[in-house]
Homo-oligomer: A and B are copies of this chain.
């Protein structure tokens, strides 16, 4: 569940674009798409992306350097993320599994260390590509 943040103009433009995209978007592809709206420089994009990630409106898919909108109301603001990634078509889906998130949130390593955050990426073939 997202605390409401009032997005600024740039943040809103970039969030809307990512939110409408059926697939993760890369920073320079975002840049290309918003140039007609007056966002001209990479830094403007990266700044908006940083903020959107911070507040949990989008997530970064680390293995792909790409960004998707968060559609998981149970995800704890960028603190606990899990994705499935198809290695053929590159489709990415956010996983929301109560069991998984509970298991990982409570995971302790050998030293009893608990973690404040995690990111999990599963790879395989999606239905279509199998």
Contact = CB atoms under 8 A, between A and B. Distances in A.
Interface residues of A, number: 28
Contact of A107 (B100, B110, B115): B100
Contacts of A110: 97
A14 B125 CA distance: 32
Interface of A: 62-63, 84, 93, 95, 97, 100, 103-104, 107, 109-111, 113-127
B113 A124 contact: yes
B107 A116 contact: no
A85 to B, nearest CB: 9
Contact of A117 (B118, B119, B122): B122
Nearest to A95: B109
Contacts of A121: 62, 118-120
Given A103-B103, A113-B126, A119-B121, 9 more contacts: A62-B121, A63-B119, A84-B115, A93-B109, A113-B124, A115-B124, A116-B125, A117-B122, A118-B120
Contacts of A127: 111, 113
